[in-house]
Chains A and B, each alone.
Chain A
Amino acid sequence: MPPPLQAHRLLISHRRLPTPGRRRFTAVSSVQSAPATTLAPGPATSSILSIRESLLSGERTAADITSEYLSRLRRTEPSVRSFIHVADAAAQREAEELDRRIASGDKDAVGPLAGVLVGVKDNLCTANMPSTGGSRVLEGYRPAYDATAVRRLREAGAIVVGKTNLDEFGMGSTTEGSAFQVTTNPWDDSRVPGGSSGGSASAVSARQCVVSLGSDTGGSVRQPASFCGVVGLKPTYGRVSRFGLMAYASSLDVVGCFGSSVFDTATILSVVAGHDKMDSTSSSQGVPDYASELVSLDLLESKPLNGVRIGIIQETLGEGVDTGVASSIKGAASHLEQLGSVVEEVSLPSFSLGLPAYYILASSEASSNLSRYDGIRYGRQVSANDLNELYGESRANGLGHEVKMRILMGTYALSAGYYDAYYKRAQQVRTLVKESFKAALERYDMLISPAAPSVAYKIGEKINDPLAMYAGDIMTVLNTLFYFGDADLSLLWAMSQSICRHEILFDMVNVNLAGLPALVVPCGFVEGGAAGLPVGLQMIGSPFSEGNLLRVGHIFEQSLQNLSFVPPLLAEL
C-alpha cells in the first residue's frame, strides 16, 4: 500500500524545478474542506464496475440505474446544457428490455457495458438520432449508420443516452462554437467546459451519463477533461476507428473517451479500440483488456511505480502557463516520484513549432473534408438561381465563423504556388515534432505536462474577436513562417513562440501531430468557482502504450486520497 498523497505534498515542487508562484494557487486542503463537496472525498471508483455488480447481483435493475442518471440529467441539464439531443425515452426502453433479458436468465445480456449510459459527441454518427456535428448545415440530419465506436459500445450493451454538444465540427476549445447552445462547466456555470468535446466532458463530470465518447484533433478530449475534472483519453492515431466520425482533420482526428475514473475510461477503450475494415487507417494491433490490467492499490507494493521513468516537458511549464496549473503539475510530479518513479525535466526542442504546423495541416484537411457539406445531398440547402449561388448560400448560411475561417486558411494553404511553403513545410515540422517525441520517449516511459495551460475560463473570454485573433496575428505569423519559406528553423521557432502566447492548445497539438496516446487525469485544483477548478495532468506515451498510461494513471488516481473530483453542482441536488 503506497502512502496516501498528502495534501501539502502538492505544494512541494520537484527539486529540479523552480519554486512555483503561489499567487493563484489554493492548497487542496482548503478545497476539500469546501462545504459544497458533500460526496466523500477519496479515490475515484468505477461506476461501470458497480453497475455491473448491481445488475449481476440483482441488487438494482438497469431501469433504476437509468432513471437515476436521467433524473440527474433533467435536473442539471438546464444549467449545464451538455446535450444537443437526449434520447431519454429510448434509453429507458433499452434499460427495461435489458432487465427483461436478465430476468429471463439470459446471461449474455450482461455485456461488458450492460446498462451503462453513454453520451456520444454529436460529430459521431448515430443511426437513430440526429447527428449535426454542432453545425446548422447538418441540422436535422440523421445518419443511416452508427459510427464504429458507437456500434461497438452498443454491442457491448451500452445505452446511448444522447448526443453531446461541441464546437462546430470540433473546431474550437470552449464549446461556445456550437451552432446550438453554450455548455457550461459543472464546476462553475460562468465558465466553459473546454472543447471541442465540452459536452461529453461536462456530461460525465455532472454524472449525467457514466462515460462518453469525444474526439481529439488538437486537444479536444484532453483540455475539456482537464477543465471538467474527469479522466480523458486520447488514444494513439489509428487505435479507434474513425468510421462515422465527421472528419475535421483526417490525419489528426481520433475518437477518445471520458470517464469519471481511469478504470471506466480503460473499460470503454477496450470496447471501442481495434481494427475496423471500414477505416483503412485503423491499426490491427491487438487490443488488450485495459481494465483487467488495473490492479487495486491494496495489492501493490509501497512504491508501485518503481523503475518508471517520467519526463516532465519543460516547455509546457514556462511562459504562458498559469502558475497555479504549473504548481499542480509539479505537485503531481512529486507525487509520482513518491510512488517510486523517476521524474526528470526533458526539453522537446521542436515543441513550439507544432502549433503553426498544426494550424496549416488541420485547416488544409478541414477545407477538404468540409467541402461535402454543399447542400446537394443532405443538410441545409438554400434556394438559389444558379449553381454557384446554391453552393455559396448553403455554405454561408450553414457554417459558422470559426469553420469558415479554417476553410479559408486551408484553402489558401493548399492553393497552387503556396502548397510548398505551407502544407509541405508543415509536414516537415510534423516530422520534426515526431522525432523529438520519439527521442524523448526512448529515454522516458512517459512524458507529463499540464493538459491545458490554465483552468477553465469564463464564457465569452476567448471568443470576443476570433477574427482579429486569426487575421491580425496567426495569419501574419504563418505568412512569415511559411510563405517566405527560406526562413531557418530558429526564425520559425521564434515566430511560433509569439503564436503560443495567444493560443491555449499549445501543448495539445504536438501529441496529435505525432499520433501519440495521452491520458488526462485530474490532479489538483486552482482557486475559482465554488469549490476550486480542476487541473488535469497529461501523460503522453509511445504509440499503442495506452495500457501503460492507464496503469500509471490508475495508480496515480487511486493514491490521491484526499481529492475528490465531484463537482459542487451535484452536492446541491
Chain B
Amino acid sequence: MPALHPVCPPALPSASGRGLPLWLRQRGALHSAPADVAGGREGGDDVDIHGGKSGRQGWRQLPRWEDKAAVGGDVVYVFHGPFAGDEHPPDCDQHNRLRFTGDTLATMALTLLRGMRTPISFRSNTGLFFTVLQPRLARFTTRAESAQATEPKAAPKSIQLATKEAAEQKTQGFEAIIGIETHVQLSTVTKAFCSCPYNYGSQPNSTICPTCMGHPGTLPVLNEKVVECAVKLGLALNCDISMTSKFDRKQYFYPDLPKGYQISQFDIPIAKKGYVDLDLPMEFGGGHRKFGITRVHMEEDAGKLLHSESGSYSQVDLNRAGVPLLEIVSEPDMRTGIEAAEYGAEIQRIVRYLGVSNGNMQEGSLRCDVNVSVRPVGQSEFGTKVEIKNMNSFSAINRAIDYEISRQIMLHKEGQAGQIVQETRLWDESSQKTFTMRKKEGLADYRYFPEPDLPEVILTSDYIDEIRKSMPELPEAKRRRYENMGLSMQDVLFLANDDNVAHFFDSTIEHGADAKLAANWIMGDIAAYLKNEKLSIDEIKLTPLELSELIASIKNATISGKIGKEILVELIAKGGTVKGVIEEKDLVQIADPAAIEAMVDKVIADNPKQLEQYRAGKTKLQGFFAGQVMKASKGKANPVLLNKILGEKLNAS
C-alpha cells in the first residue's frame, strides 16, 4: 500500500442524531426529482458546446489581478519531475513540492501571476485540427473484405441501417452537428481530495469520511495522481497542457453534492485544444476521422441518490462523492451517430491504454453526454442544441443520436422547428427513443469562482517530460504501425482495439512470427476461443512466444496447419510449449516419402472399389483417398507430399 492521503478521522458516529445511512427524512421529497442515471447530471450544463458560455462576457484587461495568488496565500502545488509513481498528496516537507514566496509578496505576484482570464470560446471554427467536418460518404474507402463485425458490442445491422438512414436524411438538405462531453472516472487508489478508496458496488456509505461528506471544517487535499492522469490524457489527446491551472467551485444544491459545490476547473483547464484520430469500422465504410478536443479538466464526482420504490423518501449514497473525474469536451465536429460512437470508443481505448480508467460504461466509469443540433446545409449558425443522456453503450449512443437527428429533421421539415428547444433528453433503450427529461429555462448559473482551499497547480516541464516518456504507444500510433506492416484495415482495427490484444500481437511478432499469420491466428481461432469462454487474451495460458513457435512449426512443416489448430487449443487451455505438446502427443508431421507411400499403398489396397471408380474417371475420389491416408496417419502426414504420392499411385497403372 503506497503512502496515501493523511488518514482521515474515523467514520462518523451518529452523534448528530441522524447518522448513517443518510436519509432524507421527508415526505415525497425527491421522487419527482430526475433519476440520477449514470450520474450524468453534473457537468451537464456548464459548457455550451455550440454557443459559448453566456454571462461571463466582457472580460476586460485589468491590471494586476493575481487571482489565486491573492486568494491562496503563499502556497502553491508545484509538480516537478521525476514524478512519484505512488499515490499521495503533495507533501512539501518531504518532496519540496511547495514553493514559498510568502515573505516577498511582489515575487509572489510575479511567480504566480497567471494570464488574465480570457473568454473561453467553446465554439472553434478555425478548423485547425479537423480534417473532416462533413460526412463524405462517397469518399469512404471500400476495402472491406468481409462483413464480420469488428465491434462486438455493436449490433451491426441496425447501426448500418441507421447510419444509412442518417446519411440519407442529410442528403435531404440537413446536417447534424454533434459534440460530446465525456466523463472519465479515474481508477486512482484514493479519491480526488481525501484518502477514501472507491470501489464500484460497495456497500452504500462505506467509503466515506468527513471530508467527502462535506462536514464542517474539512478541507480538500489534492491527490497528485489525478494531475498525473490528467496530464497523461491531455498528452494522449494532443492537447496543450496548462503549466499553471487552478481549481474552481461550481455551485449548486443537490443532495448528492455534499459541499453544495463541486470542485472543478472553469476557465483554466489542465489541457485544451487537442484532437483525436480514429478510423471508422470497415462495415460502416471505414475512413479516417480527426475530431477536435476543446478541453480536458479535472473535477470530482457527486454521490448517488437512491429513490425508494414508494417514492416517499430518498437516500443518499456518498461513496462516489469526491471520486476523481476527467471531463473531456469535444469540438462539435461529429455529424453522425456512428462518428460519435466511434469517438467514444476511441476515448475508451485511450483511457484503457493509458491505464487511467477502466472505461467501463456499465459501471459509469465512462459517461457520454451528447449535444445534437440540426441545421439546413449551407447555414452557418448552429441550430438549437439538445442534450442526450443515459446511454450506456456506444451502440446506444449511435442509435440515440440517429434517432434524435431524424426527430429534429422531421420537425424542421414539418415547419415545427420551433419545437426544438434547449433541453435534456433521456435515451430510452426499450422504446429506442429519446424523451424530455427537463427543459432548460435559461442557463443555470453555477457562480464559479476560484477554489480558495486549493493552491494552484503548477507543472514543470520536467514533470510533463517524465510523463511523456512514460506514455505507452497509443491506439492511433498502433494502427498506423500495423497498417504499415501491410495488415488489412480490418485486422488493424481488431488488433488495436484492445490494449491486451495489441500487446499480445506485438509480442508474438517480436518473437519472429509473420505479422499476417499472427493476426490471422489471433483474430481467428484465438478470438473465437475467447468469445466462447468469455475470457480476455491475458487470461489464457498461451504465450506470445508459443504462438510464434506454433506459426514457425507450421511454416517449416514440422506440423500441419490442422495439427496446429489442435495444439493451439491445448496451449490455450493448459499451457505448455509447442514442442512439448508435439512430443507428448507424437504429432510431428510425417514427411518421410517411404512411410507415406506405405500408407498410400495400404489405403489403395483396402479400397479396390473406389480405385476402380477413380480409374473409371471419377477423379474427385482423390480427396477420399487423401482423407483415408490422413486418417491412417492420424493427421500427421505432410499433405503436399501425400497428395503428390497419392496422385502418382492412383494414376500409376
Contacts of B75 in A (CB 8 A): 238, 280-283
The answer to whether B27 and A385 have CB atoms under 8 Å apart is yes
Judge whether A484 is part of the interface by a CB distance below 8 angstroms: no
Contacts of A542 in B (CB 8 A): 103
The stretch of B231-239, B254-262, B275-283, B616-624 that contacts the partner chain: B254-262
On whether A125 and B216 interact (CB within 8 A), knowing A275-B92, A368-B449, A417-B55, the answer reads yes
Residue in A131, A385, A387, A434 whose beta carbon sits within 8 Å of that of B70 in the complex: A434
* Least CB distance, B9 to chain A, in whole angstroms: 3
Q: Is the interface of B mostly helix, strand, loop or mixed?
A: loop
Judge whether B214 is part of the interface by a CB distance below 8 angstroms: yes
On whether A251 and B72 interact (CB within 8 A), knowing A371-B251, A376-B255, A381-B25, the answer reads yes
The stretch of A96-104, A139-147, A203-211 that contacts the partner chain: A139-147
Judge whether B329 is part of the interface by a CB distance below 8 angstroms: no
Judge whether B485 is part of the interface by a CB distance below 8 angstroms: no
In angstroms, Cα B452 to Cα A281, docked, is 9
On whether A368 and B260 interact (CB within 8 A), knowing A283-B100, A378-B16, the answer reads yes
The stretch of B28-36, B385-393, B472-480 that contacts the partner chain: B28-36
* Least CB distance, A73 to chain B, in whole angstroms: 25
* Least CB distance, B590 to chain A, in whole angstroms: 73
Chain B: which residue is nearest A382 at the CB level? B26
In angstroms, Cα B545 to Cα A182, docked, is 81
Q: What size tier do the contact residues of chain B reach?
A: 35 or more
Q: What size tier do the contact residues of chain A reach?
A: 35 or more
Contacts of B55 in A (CB 8 A): 416-417
Judge whether A163 is part of the interface by a CB distance below 8 angstroms: no
Judge whether B447 is part of the interface by a CB distance below 8 angstroms: yes
Judge whether B71 is part of the interface by a CB distance below 8 angstroms: yes
Contacts of B17 in A (CB 8 A): 140
The answer to whether B11 and A543 have CB atoms under 8 Å apart is no
The answer to whether B26 and A383 have CB atoms under 8 Å apart is yes
* Least CB distance, A247 to chain B, in whole angstroms: 7
Contacts of B65 in A (CB 8 A): 424, 427-428, 431
Judge whether A515 is part of the interface by a CB distance below 8 angstroms: yes
Judge whether B13 is part of the interface by a CB distance below 8 angstroms: yes
Chain A: which residue is nearest B5 at the CB level? A277
Residue in A141, A365, A431 whose beta carbon sits within 8 Å of that of B452 in the complex: A365
Residue in B33, B73, B221, B453 whose beta carbon sits within 8 Å of that of A277 in the complex: B221
On whether A427 and B71 interact (CB within 8 A), knowing A143-B216, A387-B30, the answer reads yes
* Least CB distance, B150 to chain A, in whole angstroms: 46
In angstroms, Cα B218 to Cα A124, docked, is 11
The answer to whether A374 and B253 have CB atoms under 8 Å apart is yes
Q: Is the interface of A mostly helix, strand, loop or mixed?
A: loop
Chain B: which residue is nearest A378 at the CB level? B16
* Least CB distance, B64 to chain A, in whole angstroms: 5
On whether A544 and B28 interact (CB within 8 A), knowing A124-B217, A377-B258, A427-B65, the answer reads no
Residue in B15, B117, B260 whose beta carbon sits within 8 Å of that of A142 in the complex: B15
* Residues of chain B in range 220-242 having any CB-CB distance to chain A below 8 Å: 220-222
On whether A250 and B453 interact (CB within 8 A), knowing A374-B253, A377-B214, the answer reads yes
Chain B: which residue is nearest A542 at the CB level? B103
Judge whether A66 is part of the interface by a CB distance below 8 angstroms: no
Judge whether B39 is part of the interface by a CB distance below 8 angstroms: no
**Which of A131, A414, A427 counts the most B-chain CB atoms under 10 A from its CB?**
A427
* Residues of chain B in range 1-25 having any CB-CB distance to chain A below 8 Å: 5-6, 8-13, 15-18, 22, 24-25
Judge whether B155 is part of the interface by a CB distance below 8 angstroms: no
The answer to whether A251 and B452 have CB atoms under 8 Å apart is yes
The answer to whether B449 and A438 have CB atoms under 8 Å apart is no
On whether A431 and B60 interact (CB within 8 A), knowing A131-B216, A242-B219, the answer reads no
* Least CB distance, A524 to chain B, in whole angstroms: 32
Contacts of A365 in B (CB 8 A): 449, 452
Q: List 7 A-B contacts (CB under 8 A).
A: A125-B217, A141-B16, A387-B255, A414-B447, A416-B443, A428-B64, A435-B64
Q: Closest 4 A-B residue pairs measured CB to CB?
A: A371-B260, A416-B55, A145-B9, A250-B452
